[in-house]
């Protein structure tokens, strides 16, 4: 699919976000959905404009969000969520940028569009060349309008936010608070707050999930290979990481998820950050106990 992202403007201090993305949903498995695209986040996780991918493990695995690097607005990119042998991968312009392992093979639905946490955002995105591949006959099909692979419903009159087909059922556009006469308006991104230390950034993320008085805050340096293995993740940038774990009653209203999906909740939050820049690389919210980070070394207790 060719994903065009032209405007993602989020007012205020947050924590709020807006996306231009696609979703793949599953039925009757340990993974309920995977999503990927462009995320504009203000005061929430992955602050800034990033490529991202996220997945929900509703049983014991929890919710995981991966920040995949800076994304540029006013551009188009070829994106694909591709099934492998027990895995799904996010491909960006022909390159595999993140892989989810231990995933199911049964797809229940596809979707594409934008997601936002407040009604006064400004967004403009398109999706073209929409295709899907049948796992039984391995054939590719153009368009998403089939009983098993629905696409967004057209609602061009749904101002201030609407979705419409450009060429049914291959190309669509979605806009929010951008008038038709100014439909190609470009976004000017507001300045982001100064970078925090890895631990302070992790505590900021915890606050966006409703935990203002975190408990059991612990931090340790982690090698990228070991971190990927322990948390079943796929961090590819840098090897000097800081892993912070925090206990509390979390509700992640400020993370992307499919339409009508409940906000992820849990009692343990893991945040993996670049040790030098303090930027978030991965967030995982666990329903109960999280994996023990003592395998990386003796954690420092913060609070």
Whole-number pLDDT of residue 233: 95
Give the three-state DSSP class for 87: strand
Whole-number pLDDT of residue 181: 45
Measured from the Cβ of residue 142, the count of other Cβ atoms closer than 10 Å reads 10
Q: What is the pTM of this model?
A: 0.90
Give the three-state DSSP class for 295: helix
Q: Does domain 2-182 have CATH number 2.60.40?
A: no
The model's pLDDT over 173-213, given as tens digits with 9 standing for 90+, comes to 999 998 754 544 444 455 555 677 899 999 999 999 999 88
* Residues ≥6 apart with Cβ < 8 Å to 126: 2, 3, 4, 6, 76, 166, 171, 172, 173, 174
* CA dihedral sign, ordered 78, 82, 34, 198: negative
* Residues ≥6 apart with Cβ < 8 Å to 284: 62, 63, 64, 65, 231, 233, 269, 270, 290
Plot region of 258 (φ>0 → left; ψ -120 to 50 → alpha; else → beta): beta
Whole-number pLDDT of residue 185: 47
Residue 267: C-alpha distances to residues 161, 201, 216, 254 (Å): 35, 19, 11, 16
Per DSSP, the chain holds a count of helices (H) and strands (E) of 2, 19
Q: Residue 282 and residue 45: Cα distance in Å, rounded?
A: 9
Give the three-state DSSP class for 230: helix
Whole-number pLDDT of residue 147: 54
Cross-strand partners of 145: none
The model's pLDDT over 216-264, given as tens digits with 9 standing for 90+, comes to 999 999 999 999 999 999 999 777 899 999 999 999 988 999 888 888 9
Q: Residue 70 and residue 215: Cα distance in Å, rounded?
A: 32
> Which residues of the chain are modeled with pLDDT < 50?
181, 183-188
């Amino acid at each position: 699919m060719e994903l065009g992202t032209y405007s993602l403007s989020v007012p205020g201090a947050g924590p709020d976000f807006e996306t231009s993305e696609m979703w793949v949903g599953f039925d009757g498995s340990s993974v309920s959905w995977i999503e990927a695209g462009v995320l504009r986040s203000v005061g929430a996780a992955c602050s800034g404009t990033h490529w991202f991918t996220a997945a929900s493990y509703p049983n014991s695995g929890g919710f995981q969000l991966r920040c995949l690097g800076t994304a540029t607005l006013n551009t188009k990119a070829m994106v694909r969520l591709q099934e492998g042998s027990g895995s799904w991968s996010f491909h960006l312009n022909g390159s595999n940028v993140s892989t989810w392992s231990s995933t199911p093979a049964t797809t229940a639905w596809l979707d594409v569009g934008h997601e936002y946490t407040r009604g006064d955002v400004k967004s403009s995105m398109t999706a073209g060349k929409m295709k899907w591949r049948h796992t039984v006959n391995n054939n590719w099909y153009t368009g998403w309008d089939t009983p098993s692979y629905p696409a967004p419903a057209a609602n061009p009159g749904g101002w201030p936010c609407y979705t419409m087909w450009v060429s049914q059922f291959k190309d669509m556009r979605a806009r929010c608070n951008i008038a038709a006469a100014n439909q190609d308006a470009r976004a000017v991104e507001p300045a982001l707050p100064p970078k925090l230390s890895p631990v302070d950034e992790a505590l900021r993320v915890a606050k966006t999930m409703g935990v203002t008085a975190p408990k059991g805050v612990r931090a340790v340096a982690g090698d990228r290979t070991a971190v990927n293995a322990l948390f079943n993740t796929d961090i590819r940038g840098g090897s000097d990481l800081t892993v912070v774990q925090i206990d509390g009653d979390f509700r992640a209203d400020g993370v992307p998820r499919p339409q009508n999906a409940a906000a992820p909740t849990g009692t343990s939050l893991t945040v993996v950050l670049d040790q030098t820049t303090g930027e978030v690389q991965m967030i995982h919210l666990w329903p109960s106990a999280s994996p023990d980070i003592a395998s990386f070394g003796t954690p420092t207790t913060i609070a």
